[in-house]
Structure 1
């Protein structure tokens, strides 16, 4: 185009090459927990007060999300079902699947 100069050679690029720009990957939802292969992932999640955490059951078997202190309790969730809970106070919240109690994880809520 008139008035535009050619792009200078970039270091470590062959002459005549054009640099490509790749968009950054979409961020991973920071407040999402997957239930997959009979495990919560991540097993330890830290969020600020006021955050809503959403669990998604990616297994074919039903699961629940039940806080050890009784602060939250999901219904049984079939495959691809979700459960969300908003944490309104700081603390450490350990939870299990009541159907499979060997499945356990923790949400740490910071002020």
Structure 2
């Protein structure tokens, strides 16, 4: 079936499927604002069936509560999407934590813990990814000695520090994740 529509004085021709043709023939589609939809209240109103819920915006639904400074139907607290695993708030920018001694760094909650690790020359440090997303351990700047592959969940990377100094590193996948290893004699 072909339908002709007048557009700005010209004609446009397109093929329409049987459902569209039937809807047009029955007058169910309207371009002039006259809706053939049943009214939202009274006889013929749209209502949910058994086991269905009234949702915001549905005819007959109660107006959602409004919180100061928020739009109707929008929660003032963001809720994470199920497939998202990043934290909803950025990492703290407060004072740096005191250096911690040891030989292990946990990668969790999109951060290196501890953020500053203090070790002696000759110590082998092991990073373990405890997040569901992959992370790297990579020296900041060029020519750094820390260069891990992408670490999946529960994978580790180890490096033995042979010279004193401060080794700054980050995750190249998530550059906001930064930390340092302070190596002393």
TM over 0.5: yes
Instruction: Choose from 118, 128, 139 the match for 1:67.
Output: 139
| Larger strand percent | 1
Give deviations 1:33-87, integer Å, cap 9, x for gaps: 0000000000000000000000000000000000114212000000000000000
Tell me the TM-score normalised to structure 2 length.
0.44
Alignment-derived partner of residue 102 in structure 1: 176
In our comparison, the structure showing a higher alpha carbon Rg is 2
> CA separation in 2, counterparts of 1:85 and 1:44?
16
Instruction: Give ranges in structure 2 of 5+ residues lacking alignment.
Output: 1-100
Runs of 4 or more consecutive aligned structure 1 residues displaced over 2 Å after TM superposition: none
Instruction: Give ranges in structure 1 of 5+ residues lacking alignment.
Output: 1-28
Alignment-derived partner of residue 82 in structure 1: 156
Per-residue deviation, 1:30:
1.7
CA RMSD, aligned part only?
A: 1.2
Tell me the TM-score normalised to structure 1 length.
0.73
| Larger helix percent | 2
Higher relative contact order (CA 8 A, sep 6+): 1
> CA separation in 2, counterparts of 1:108 and 1:59?
24
